[in-house]
């Protein structure tokens, strides 16, 4: 356990392409193999593979497929037709619910699902950035749920306790949300720095503590509970502090999405351009070397967790000031803290990667609901596909073995034979 | 060894004076003081009124122990004072450069708990036996999960997938037991499900060298998705036949179950609970007194050394992670066959993560991890019972208690916890 954080960032398990070994082959082949064996192809294939497994699950549990497969050997074409119908229909709904609904009359309403996807993606991007930042320092932050709850609650409390005109109230609430998440996560960094407490355990425990704390405050009059209400629910957010719609009220997407894109840029600048980010990455690569080089590793853990918590806190801000503007109850984190982990893993903790991964998972989620409504396929298939994508991406050798791709840096023929041997073993 | 080597040079004059360095740890006194302060604030600041009635037996018991009724206010105040005195004594012990003995801490905890129960249940009847019984029952899945965690981590594979193993076990036990009508097959299916989940963990962690914590977390999401999917599209599709309510019968052990307090608390349970007792003893004995245990620990502490003496590191890890999965999966059957009888979505509700905390709290030791699991079970049940009789403490704070205690424990108050040296590190020759 103690060493887990040092290797927490997902890294391709295969060795990097070695220039020395490929000297004999031509430049063009080398480039081609680089692409075929590289991260992009593996990512695309991993997504494809996960969708194939999802299709198998859909087909196996589909009642029509089960009915006609009873006489599979008499008329196999019926079975294949039923499978095509079940899987094709499901993935068509997924597309229509996530990107563009071809059944709607005009483009403006057809594009509504895409706008919905952007809005669902927003908290995933915020959360993913926070988790990704942790990975880059070698910290595994499972405490997204707690940081979202605390950040969101602080933002909401500021919003209705100090009503202010439009941009001011919003800015105060957002800053409060960032601070809330930062303090809650910074506590983890502080404990790790002071006592060596493992951040995985502490963040899990703080999730529960945050949940019960918010539950208690939501049912306590004078704390977070709406005045004159008996339900464990907060007051509505005043309009001065709400995140306004980005493209009119017809679409679900709000300014929070713009904020999320800005956060991606901030993350990029922080990690790739600032000296703090350089120190973060140094600690993540090798804490001992970083310490020898004079970097205060303990302090980096505290700063890193706090900044990560700030990013995750923004997801809470989005939940409170954009999604649940009518008031929130204790489950407003909606599992984003855990989904953000998969987003960060899929995005390989890179800014652009997290953005794309957030959009992909947002699309899967918003499409999943239509798939459930239209085809009766449980929305949980999205969870399965998501987790399979991450598993496959984390194990490039497995994906290469399944698709018979060459190992990077090895002559193709030899590689195929070696892989075949590996697959047999 | 050293006795047989007289060649070692010895100083000729007098005994050697060794410099003694005592590292004073202030963590225990600080923690005890925090609790003592809490006791003073609660028991004296919010003084309890009325009497507390501790009930030890039910009318149906063979032997009956009379109820204990005390005046809540004065007793709680006295116990608060005892707690303060003990906290002060712990400071004195550390100032003199000695360690605070664990028993001292245990007695302090008992005093604090007695005071808390007296104070919180003032004016009510506190069913003491039911409190302990519920603690044992609620801790059973945690014990199974923690044993699975201990074996996995002792072999050098971090088992974050306990949650997935429990959930998979719960799902498959309900599915198979209701489909076949045999609860024995249900138990077997639970273990098999745990092994299957472990295979994923082992394949990705050992063969593909993916970070084990990441694999564990992702597996938990995957199993959640799979069981939710299976619940909606398989179990709910055929409600008369599948996922019927089936619970294992209680098997009271003759004589032992008639002992007051201990009998109903420990010896009147379903077979799963007895399996848990046996499993704890077997894992403890196996890990520390058999060749298998030595190999597991060698592989987890120093894989290179184990490899040098001819132990196949990755194979040992693979099969022990599978064994861990079988144990944790069996614990999953407790949620269905052992208690409510049917499967519901996400019914393990994060218990696997609590079991993981118990592993670390228990310092990777099966007995200590079991005690940690019991503590978590006790805290949960305390909240249940105080919720029924009405307590002055908001239930959310009681629910928080185990998690706060774990953070304190992980932060080192119970002692520095040290994982097996090669825990979480893949072994590549």
Domain range summary for chain A, segments of one domain joined by +: 123-358
Under DSSP, the state recorded for A245 is B
Which of the pair, B125 or A391, is modelled with greater confidence?
A391
Closest partner residue to B357 (CB to CB) among A13, A204, A216 is A204
Distance CA B213, CA B206 (A): 13
Please give the pLDDT value at position A21: 42
E-state strands within B246-350: 251-252, 268-269
Q: In the sheet that B125-127 helps form, which strands lie side by side, from edge to edge?
A: B68-71, B51-55, B125-127
pLDDT tens per residue across span B248-299: 888 888 888 878 778 888 888 889 999 999 999 999 999 999 999 999 999 9
Is A191 in Cβ contact with B407 (below 8 Å)? yes
Is B419 in Cβ contact with A216 (below 8 Å)? no
Whether the per-residue pLDDT at B323 is higher than 80: the answer is yes
Using an 8 Å CB-CB cutoff, list chain A residues near B425: 3, 7
Please give the pLDDT value at position A33: 58
Is B407 in Cβ contact with A10 (below 8 Å)? no
| Largest separation between any pair of C-alpha atoms in chain A | 79
ipTM above 0.90, yes or no: no
The Cα of B226 is separated from the nearest Cα of chain A by a number of Å equal to 6
pTM for this entry: 0.83
- Work out the pLDDT band at B46, boundaries 50, 70, 90: confident
Q: How far is CA A10 from CA A349, B215, B351, in A?
A: 8, 10, 26
Using an 8 Å CB-CB cutoff, list chain B residues near A195: 411-412
Measured CA angle at A329 (ends A324, A335), to 5 deg: 80
Distance CA A18, CA B49 (A): 78
Using an 8 Å CB-CB cutoff, list chain B residues near A149: none
Minimum CA–CA partner of B150 in chain A: A1
Using an 8 Å CB-CB cutoff, list chain A residues near B209: 13
Distance CA A323, CA A317 (A): 9
Please give the pLDDT value at position A4: 40
Count of A-B CB contacts under 8 Å: 153
Is B410 in Cβ contact with A197 (below 8 Å)? yes
Whether the per-residue pLDDT at B412 is higher than 80: the answer is no
Closest partner residue to A387 (CB to CB) among B218, B233, B397 is B218
Is A388 in Cβ contact with B410 (below 8 Å)? no
B143: tokens are: 């014990």
The Cα of B407 is separated from the nearest Cα of chain A by a number of Å equal to 6
Is A388 in Cβ contact with B222 (below 8 Å)? yes
In chain B, where the domains are located: 27-123, 137-376
Please give the pLDDT value at position B109: 86
Do residues A308 and A186 touch, judged by C-beta distance below 8 A? no
Closest partner residue to B158 (CB to CB) among A1, A57, A387 is A1
Please give the pLDDT value at position B19: 64
- Work out the pLDDT band at B426, boundaries 50, 70, 90: confident
Please give the pLDDT value at position B2: 43
Q: How far is CA A353 from CA A40, A128, A132, A133, in A?
A: 10, 10, 10, 13
Average pLDDT per consecutive 10 residues, chain A (425 residues; last block may be shorter): 40 41 53 59 87 90 81 83 87 87 83 90 96 92 93 93 86 94 95 85 90 92 83 87 84 90 96 93 92 92 95 95 88 88 88 93 91 86 89 86 75 53 55
Q: Find the helix packing angle between A39-61 and A396-403, rounded to 10°.
A: 70
The Cα of B188 is separated from the nearest Cα of chain A by a number of Å equal to 24
Closest partner residue to B214 (CB to CB) among A2, A10, A212 is A10
Is B222 in Cβ contact with A383 (below 8 Å)? yes
Q: Most confidently modeled of A74-78, B115-119, B178-182?
A: B178-182
Minimum CA–CA partner of A217 in chain B: B396
With residues binned 3-state (H G I as helix, E B as strand, rest as coil), the percentages for chain B, rounded to 5, are 65, 5, 30
Which of the pair, B17 or B372, is modelled with greater confidence?
B372
Mean pLDDT across chain B: 85
Is B228 in Cβ contact with A378 (below 8 Å)? yes
Whether the per-residue pLDDT at B114 is higher than 80: the answer is yes
Please give the pLDDT value at position A420: 57
Using an 8 Å CB-CB cutoff, list chain A residues near B234: 61
Please give the pLDDT value at position A363: 93
Closest partner residue to A212 (CB to CB) among B357, B400, B411 is B400
Distance CA A202, CA A277 (A): 24
Of residues A31, A186, A110, A50, the one with CA closest to residue B221: A50
Classified as helix, coil or strand, A274 is: coil
Is B229 in Cβ contact with A4 (below 8 Å)? no
β-bridge pairing B51-55 and B68-71? antiparallel
Is A200 in Cβ contact with B218 (below 8 Å)? no
Minimum CA–CA partner of B159 in chain A: A1
Do residues B104 and B83 touch, judged by C-beta distance below 8 A? no
Please give the pLDDT value at position A276: 94
Do residues B323 and B151 touch, judged by C-beta distance below 8 A? yes
What integer is the mean pLDDT of B73-83?
Answer: 87
Among positive and negative, which fits the CA dihedral B207, B213, B218, B221? positive
The Cα of A146 is separated from the nearest Cα of chain B by a number of Å equal to 13
Please give the pLDDT value at position B1: 41
- Work out the pLDDT band at B26, boundaries 50, 70, 90: confident
Distance CA B39, CA A358 (A): 48
Q: Find the helix packing angle between A351-375 and A112-137, rounded to 10°.
A: 140
Do residues A382 and A40 touch, judged by C-beta distance below 8 A? no
Is B229 in Cβ contact with A384 (below 8 Å)? yes
Distance CA A425, CA B327 (A): 27
Distance CA B111, CA B104 (A): 11
pLDDT tens per residue across span B330-355: 999 999 998 888 898 888 888 898 89
Do residues A339 and A386 touch, judged by C-beta distance below 8 A? yes
- At B228, phi and psi to the nearest 5? -60, -45
The Cα of A326 is separated from the nearest Cα of chain B by a number of Å equal to 24
Q: Which residues pair with B269 in a beta bridge?
A: B251
Closest partner residue to B360 (CB to CB) among A1, A338, A397 is A1
Which of A5, A53, A191, A212 best probes binding to B when mutated, by most B CB atoms within 10 angstroms? Answer: A212
The Cα of A191 is separated from the nearest Cα of chain B by a number of Å equal to 7
The Cα of B308 is separated from the nearest Cα of chain A by a number of Å equal to 22
């Amino acid at each position: 356990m103690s060493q887990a954080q040092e290797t927490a960032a997902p890294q391709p398990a295969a060795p990097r392409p070695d220039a020395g070994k490929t000297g004999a082959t031509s430049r063009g082949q080398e480039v081609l193999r680089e692409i075929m064996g590289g991260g992009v192809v593996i990512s695309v294939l991993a997504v494809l593979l996960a969708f194939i497994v999802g299709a198998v699950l859909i087909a196996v549990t589909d009642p029509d497929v089960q009915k006609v497969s009873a006489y599979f050997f008499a008329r196999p074409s019926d079975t294949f037709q039923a499978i095509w119908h079940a899987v094709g229909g499901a993935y068509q709904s997924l597309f229509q619910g996530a990107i563009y609904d071809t059944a709607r009359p005009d483009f403006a309403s057809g594009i509504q699902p895409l706008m919905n996807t952007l809005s669902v993606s927003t908290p995933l991007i915020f959360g993913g950035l926070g988790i990704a930042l942790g990975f880059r320092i070698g910290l595994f932050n499972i405490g997204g749920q707690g940081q979202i709850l605390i950040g969101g609650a602080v933002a909401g409390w500021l919003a209705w306790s100090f009503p202010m005109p439009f941009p001011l109230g919003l800015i105060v609430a957002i800053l409060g949300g960032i601070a809330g998440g930062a303090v809650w996560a910074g506590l983890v960094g502080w404990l790790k720095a002071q006592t060596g407490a493992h951040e995985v355990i502490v963040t899990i425990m703080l999730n529960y503590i945050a949940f019960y704390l918010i539950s208690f405050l939501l049912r306590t009059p004078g704390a977070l509970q709406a005045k004159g209400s008996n339900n464990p629910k907060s007051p509505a957010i005043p309009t001065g502090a709400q995140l306004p719609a980005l493209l009119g009220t017809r679409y679900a997407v709000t300014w929070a999405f713009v904020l999320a894109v800005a956060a991606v840029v901030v993350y990029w600048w922080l990690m790739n351009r600032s000296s703090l980010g350089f120190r973060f990455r140094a600690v993540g690569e090798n804490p001992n070397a970083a310490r020898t080089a004079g970097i205060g590793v303990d302090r980096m853990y505290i700063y890193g967790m706090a900044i990560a918590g700030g990013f995750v806190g923004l997801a809470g801000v989005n939940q409170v000031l954009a999604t649940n503007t009518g008031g929130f109850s204790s489950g407003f984190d909606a599992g984003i803290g855990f989904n953000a982990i998969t987003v960060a893993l899929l995005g390989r903790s890179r800014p652009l990667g997290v953005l794309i991964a957030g959009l992909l998972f947002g699309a899967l989620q918003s499409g999943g609901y239509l798939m459930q409504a239209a085809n009766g396929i449980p929305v949980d298939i999205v969870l399965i596909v998501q987790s399979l994508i991450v598993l496959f991406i984390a194990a490039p050798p497995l994906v290469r073995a399944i698709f018979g791709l060459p190992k990077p840096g090895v002559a193709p023929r030899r590689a195929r034979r070696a892989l075949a041997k590996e697959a047999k073993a | 060894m050293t006795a047989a080597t007289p060649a070692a040079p010895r100083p000729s004059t007098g005994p050697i004076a060794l410099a003694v360095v005592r590292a004073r740890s202030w963590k225990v006194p600080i923690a005890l003081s925090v609790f003592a302060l809490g006791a003073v604030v609660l028991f004296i600041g919010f003084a309890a009124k009325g009497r507390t009635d501790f009930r030890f037996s039910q009318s149906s018991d063979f032997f009956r122990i009379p109820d204990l009724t005390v005046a809540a206010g004065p007793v709680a105040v006295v116990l608060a004072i005892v707690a303060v005195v003990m906290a002060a004594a712990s400071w004195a012990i550390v100032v003199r450069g000695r360690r605070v003995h664990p028993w001292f801490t245990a007695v302090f905890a008992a005093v604090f708990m007695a005071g808390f129960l007296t104070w919180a249940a003032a004016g009510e009847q506190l069913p003491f036996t039911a409190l302990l019984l519920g603690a044992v029952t609620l801790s059973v899945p945690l014990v199974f999960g923690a044993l699975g965690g201990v074996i996995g981590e002792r072999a050098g594979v971090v088992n974050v997938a306990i949650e997935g193993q429990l959930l998979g076990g719960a799902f498959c036990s309900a599915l198979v037991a209701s489909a076949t009508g045999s609860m024995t097959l249900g138990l077997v299916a639970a273990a098999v499900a745990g092994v299957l989940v472990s295979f994923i963990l082992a394949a990705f962690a050992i063969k593909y060298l993916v970070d084990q914590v990441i694999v564990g977390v992702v597996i938990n999401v995957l199993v959640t998705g799979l069981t939710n999917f299976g619940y909606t599209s398989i179990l709910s599709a055929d409600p008369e036949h599948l996922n019927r309510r089936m619970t294992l019968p209680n098997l009271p052990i003759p004589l032992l179950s008639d002992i007051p307090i201990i009998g109903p608390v420990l010896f009147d349970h379903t077979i799963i609970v007895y399996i848990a007792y046996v499993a704890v003893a077997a894992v403890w004995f196996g890990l520390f007194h058999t060749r298998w245990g030595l190999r597991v620990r060698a592989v987890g502490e120093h894989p290179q050394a184990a490899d040098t003496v001819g132990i196949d590191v990755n194979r040992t890890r693979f099969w022990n992670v599978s064994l861990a999965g079988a144990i944790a999966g069996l614990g999953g059957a407790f949620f269905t066959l052992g208690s409510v009888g049917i499967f519901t979505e996400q019914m393990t509700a994060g218990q696997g993560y609590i079991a993981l905390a118990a592993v670390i709290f228990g310092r990777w030791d099966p007995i200590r991890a079991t005690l940690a699991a019991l503590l978590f079970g006790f805290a949960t049940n305390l909240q249940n019972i105080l919720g029924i009789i009405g307590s002055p403490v908001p239930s959310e704070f009681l629910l928080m208690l185990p998690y706060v205690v774990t953070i304190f424990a992980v932060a080192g108050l119970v002692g520095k916890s040290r994982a097996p040296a090669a825990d979480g590190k893949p072994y590549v020759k």
